Amino acid sequence: MRRQRFAKIVATLGLTSSDSAVIEHLFLAGVDVFRLNFSHGTHEQHAINIKTIREIEAKHQRPIAILQDLQGPKFRVGQFVDKQVALTSGQSFVFDCDPTPGDASRVYLPHPEIFSGAKPGDRLLVDDARVCFKVTAVTPERIDCLHVYGKAISNNKGINLPDTVLSVSVLTDKDITDLQFGLSQGVDYVALSFVQRASDMYRLREMVGDRANILAKIEKPSAVDDIEAILEASDAIMLARGDLGVEFPPEELPSIQKTIVQKAREVGKPIVIATQMLESMIDSPVPTRAEATDIDTAISSGADAVMLSGETAIGKYPIEAVSFMNRMIIQTEKDWRYRSDMKHAAFGHVTTSEGAISLAVKAIANAMPIVAVACYTTSGRSAIRLGRERALTPLIALTPSQDTARRLQLHWGIDACLMPDVDRFQTIVAAATETVRKKGYGSQGSPVIVTAGVPFGQSGTTNTLRLAIIGADDSAQIIA
């Protein structure tokens, strides 16, 4: 099977989408990567979903990536005597270390790392920024604040600190336990929540090794400030607009999104745009016009993937949401403005043979009616480099590595297929043209570009490009 688009779809499994039949329908509707949210669910439930995904993968002979999303640290206020208290603008309020239920003047804050990190002038946002306090003084046992806005505060509400960098690991004990479980189950990506700096990702890399790719969720202002270093330390990033939208003024988010997408594309790292892409479809079978435009904007900017969260995890219409997103991406990618932008996209200088081959492939694809580019790759690097050029020609990655095939599903434009190890270029050409024909990208007489590295099996050696013609009876003719 094949998709009719270049950008990928990530969907979250949850209460309304953990049935095996629903998961298969989501895959058939267009899901390339399934996200398992470890803020919810048990290991047993996640293991069942992973088993189901692998069975669907084997049935349809198409690699599927599994993304494990770690919960990360969650900060919450304590409880109140009356469960909730009203607040007056400008009043004094204290967060302290006393576990006694709070009142209109104070509340327990069971997070000592906040006391050591907060400073006068910092904002404390409670209940998804519905309530805001400004810090006036800090001691090891209390944080004195002035109330800025918000009518009330109630039990156990979450707290965000947009101005504070905490000296605490974003990997909690729960995350470490969940991580070991996920790696034992063979997840393809591990997403780290609330990344503050590149060092957070280097610590995750030490724990994961090469057993999975690692993805940084950009949710904190400090992560936006350190984005270049975080990109360097990560295999992929996700712009998680939920918490990011709490900690930044919403009017700043569009510019931040465009900037981070551009930076990710410049270094060839896949970027996922997430949160509220089709929020209305949690309860409605049809999206809003604004949501359609939001998807179009993300795809037009060159994002590798867009993600559905509550829409597929708890929504009433998960399959309809994926189907619409699939159609919306296809429609956006047909637009002449999108195609012109991708055609003229260029990032960085060429310093490797892979880069030179990639530029040559794009030039040929723009000059000839090439039906597909087939790339033989062990590590996936050469396919990723080709995809970075956004040639708008179907890109098939032929790989002997199942791990590579799965991980490539997050990358823009790559259709990954398994094939055995080879030792002759003619074998690659024959396999490439036959795969192009079977997937319906071309037919007898169609021109195909084939790339590979010689000697075979060595990462980073892509140095050969051939033009081939699809022949009859599984044959191929090399013409250049």
Q: DSSP assignment of 60-85, as one string?
A: HT---EEEEE------B---BTTSEE
CA distance 294 to 300: 10
Domain identity same for 399 and 462? yes
Domain identity same for 195 and 277? yes
CA distance 468 to 480: 7
Is the residue at 456 inside a domain? yes
Domain identity same for 367 and 474? yes
Domain boundary among 104, 131, 160: 160
257-277 core/surface letters (b: 16 or more CB in 10 A; e: else): beebbebbbeebbbbbbbbbb
The tens digit of pLDDT for each residue in 335-390 reads 999 999 988 877 666 778 888 888 999 999 989 999 999 999 999 999 999 999 89
175 is written with which tokens? 């995350």
Domain identity same for 94 and 64? no
Is the residue at 452 inside a domain? yes
CATH of the domain at 22: 3.20.20.60
CA distances (Å), 104 to each of 79, 93, 127, 132, 219, in order?
12, 8, 16, 15, 30
Q: Which of 133, 188, 122, 181 is nearest to 157 (CA)?
A: 133
Domain identity same for 365 and 408? yes
Amino acid type, 432: A
- Residue 141, exposed/middle/buried by CB under 10 A (0-12, 13-18, 19+)? exposed
pLDDT of residue 461: 66
Domain identity same for 320 and 469? no
Domain identity same for 474 and 371? yes
Domain boundary among 160, 182, 201: 160
Helix axes 198-208, 173-184, angle to 10 degrees: 40
pLDDT of residue 168: 78
Q: What's the start-to-end Cα distance of the chain, in Å?
A: 29
CA distance 53 to 425: 34
Instruction: Give the pairing of strands 395-399 and 414-418.
Output: parallel
CA distance 414 to 394: 7
CATH of the domain at 400: 3.40.1380.20
CA distance 222 to 230: 11
Domain boundary among 334, 363, 397: 334
pLDDT of residue 471: 84
pLDDT of residue 135: 97
Helix axes 289-300, 253-267, angle to 10 degrees: 30
Domain identity same for 366 and 410? yes
CA distance 361 to 355: 10
- The angle formed by the CA atoms of residues 6, 450 and 439, to the nearest 5 degrees, is 50
Is the residue at 289 inside a domain? yes
Domain identity same for 270 and 223? yes
Is the residue at 274 inside a domain? yes
Domain identity same for 249 and 112? no
From first to last of its 480 residues, the chain has per-residue pLDDT tens of 899 999 999 999 999 999 999 999 999 999 999 999 999 999 999 999 999 999 999 999 999 999 999 999 889 999 999 999 999 999 999 999 999 999 999 999 999 999 999 999 999 999 988 999 999 999 999 999 999 999 999 999 999 999 988 887 889 999 999 999 999 999 999 999 999 999 999 999 999 999 999 999 999 999 999 999 999 999 999 999 988 988 888 899 999 999 999 999 999 999 999 999 999 999 999 999 999 999 999 999 999 999 999 999 999 999 999 999 999 999 999 999 999 998 887 766 677 888 888 899 999 998 999 999 999 999 999 999 999 989 899 999 999 999 999 999 999 999 999 998 887 888 889 999 999 999 999 999 999 999 987 766 666 667 789 999 998 766 566 665
> DSSP label at 11?
E
Is the residue at 344 inside a domain? no
Q: What SS3 class is residue 337? A: helix
Q: How many domains does the chain have?
A: 3
Cis peptide before 420 (omega within 30 of 0): no
φ, ψ (nearest 5 deg) of residue 72: 80, 180
pLDDT of residue 178: 98
pLDDT of residue 170: 84
The tens digit of pLDDT for each residue in 393-429 reads 999 999 999 999 999 999 999 999 999 888 788 888 9
Domain identity same for 110 and 36? no
CA distance 166 to 192: 16
Is the residue at 243 inside a domain? yes
CATH of the domain at 127: 2.40.33.10
pLDDT of residue 426: 86
Domain around 410: 353-478
Domain identity same for 14 and 99? no
Is the residue at 2 inside a domain? no
CA distance 252 to 229: 22
Is the residue at 63 inside a domain? yes
pLDDT of residue 86: 95
pLDDT of residue 474: 60
